[in-house]
Amino acid sequence: MKPVRVLFVCLGNICRSPLAEGVLCALAEQKGLASALQVDSAGTGAWHIGEPPDGRSIQAARRHGIDISAQRGRQLRAEDFRDFDLILGMDENNVRTLKGLAPEGAAGKVHLFLNYASGRSEDVPDPYYEGADAFEALYQMLEAGCSSLLVRLGERTS
């Protein structure tokens, strides 16, 4: 069975999408689904290429036993639309940008993360200008979303 390749996308690739990547990998590992998935993340913007995730995301992950500190920011690439099966934007702005960049035939891979995961058409809001509390809320939102996503992907990979 070929793994499902999932790309999480936000604006900077330092707050939301690296944490989503870490959470989904950790949950997949716990559920014995790690080999069924390939997970990565990227930003639509170029400001944080090569940087580790935001310290507040690293800390939020660490509080829950997940280490995302080795991740490095990267910008979305044209090949991502070929190399991934699912491209999940954290908010509607990300989804709009992704759909604008998607080549013919690839727009169907692009979804709003929480809508795809759990049918709730809700953004994962940008926490960059928020305080540390927002990152615990972000973690909780991503954990719930990634759990639902795994149920949906489990149906696809079993």
Name the residues that contact ligand 4NP, by CB under 6 A.
10-16, 43, 47, 126, 128
Nearest distance, CB of residue 36 and ligand 4NP, angstroms:
26
Nearer to ligand 4NP, 130 or 154 (CB): 130
- Closest among 17, 4, 14 to 98, alpha carbons compared: 17
Phi/psi for 7 (5° steps) reads: -115, 120
62 is a catalytic site residue: no
Nearer to ligand 4NP, 33 or 88 (CB): 88
- Closest among 112, 121, 58, 73 to 90, alpha carbons compared: 112
Nearest distance, CB of residue 91 and ligand 4NP, angstroms:
8
Nearer to ligand 4NP, 28 or 90 (CB): 90
CA–CA distance, 96 with 17 (Å, rounded to integer):
16
Nearest distance, CB of residue 156 and ligand 4NP, angstroms:
26
Residue 151 half-sphere exposure, CB side, CA atoms within 13 Å?
Answer: 10
Residue positions annotated with a catalytic role = 10, 16, 126
